[in-house]
C-alpha cells in the first residue's frame, strides 16, 4: 500500500484523481469505494503523503474491470480512474494522514473475525448435514465443538470492540458536558456509565484518577 501511485491533485472543484487501483473487492457490485491514493509527494515517499478518499463509482472517468480467478469467480477488480473529479469533501480525515488511518482500520479488519465470519455459511450447511446424519462421526462432532468455541470467543471479542467504540464516543460527549456543566457532573455520569455497563476497566480508570 505504501507504494501507491494513483494520485489526487487538488483543484478549484475539489480533487482530480488519476491512476489505477488493483484488487478492489466487489467494486463491480458497489456504489462507493474508499481509495488510498497519493496527494502530495511522490511514490518514493512511501507512507508520507497518502490520503483516503470516498469515491462514487458512478462518477465519469471510472472503469471497473473484474479480475477472474481460475474458478471463474470475480471477487476482485481493477478500478481505473481517468481524471476523475471528486468534491472537496470526498477527503476522509486529514490530507496526508491516510497511512495512519488505514492502519487503524486494518487493526480491526484483519484481526481475525472476518476470516471466520466469511465462511459461516459453510458452517451452517455442514451443521444441517450433520443433523441429518443419524450417527455423525465423533471427529466431526469434535470439530463442530471447536468451531462453536471459537464463535463464542469471537462474539465476546466483537462485543468488546463495540463497547470500546461506544465508550470512546460517550467519553467525548462527557468531555463536552464537563466544559459546560463542570467536573462533578462529568465524573458522576462517568461513574454511572461504568457501573451500568459493568465495565471493570472503565471503573478502575475512574477510581485511578480519584473521581
Contacts of 175 (CB under 8 A, 6+ apart): 186
Cβ count near 4 (within 10 Å): 20
Distances (CA, A) of 91 to 49, 99, 152: 13, 13, 38
User: What is the chain's percent helix, strand, coil content, to nearest 5?
Assistant: 50, 25, 25
The single residue of 95, 109, 164, 184 carrying the catalytic annotation is 109
What would the grid cell of residue 208 be?
485511578
Cβ count near 19 (within 10 Å): 17
Closest CA to 89 of 10, 18, 31, 19: 10
Q: Is 125 a catalytic residue?
A: no
Across-strand partners of 11? 14
35 close to 20: Cβ distance less than 8 angstroms: no
Q: Is 129 left (phi over 0), alpha (psi -120 to 50) or beta?
A: alpha
Catalytic residue IDs: 109
Amino acid at each position: 500500500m505504501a507504494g501507491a501511485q494513483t494520485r489526487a491533485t487538488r483543484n478549484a472543484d475539489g480533487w482530480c484523481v488519476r491512476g489505477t487501483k488493483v484488487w478492489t473487492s466487489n467494486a463491480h457490485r458497489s456504489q462507493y469505494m474508499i481509495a488510498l491514493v497519493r496527494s502530495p509527494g511522490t511514490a518514493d515517499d512511501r507512507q508520507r503523503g497518502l490520503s483516503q478518499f470516498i469515491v462514487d463509482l458512478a462518477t465519469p472517468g471510472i472503469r471497473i474491470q473484474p479480475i477472474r480467478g481460475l474458478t471463474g469467480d470475480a471477487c476482485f477488480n481493477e478500478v481505473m480512474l481517468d481524471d476523475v473529479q471528486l468534491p472537496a469533501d470526498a477527503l476522509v480525515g486529514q490530507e496526508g494522514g491516510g497511512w495512519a488511518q488505514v492502519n487503524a482500520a486494518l487493526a480491526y479488519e484483519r484481526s481475525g473475525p472476518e476470516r471466520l465470519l466469511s465462511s459461516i455459511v459453510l458452517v451452517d450447511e455442514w451443521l444441517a448435514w450433520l443433523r441429518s446424519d443419524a450417527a455423525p462421526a465423533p471427529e466431526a462432532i469434535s470439530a463442530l465443538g471447536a468451531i462453536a468455541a471459537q464463535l463464542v470467543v469471537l462474539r465476546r471479542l466483537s462485543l468488546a470492540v463495540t463497547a470500546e467504540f461506544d465508550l470512546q464516543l460517550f467519553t467525548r460527549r462527557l468531555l463536552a458536558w464537563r466544559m459546560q456543566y463542570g467536573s462533578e457532573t462529568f465524573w458522576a455520569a462517568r461513574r454511572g456509565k461504568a457501573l451500568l455497563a459493568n465495565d471493570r476497566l472503565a471503573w478502575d480508570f475512574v477510581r485511578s484518577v480519584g473521581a
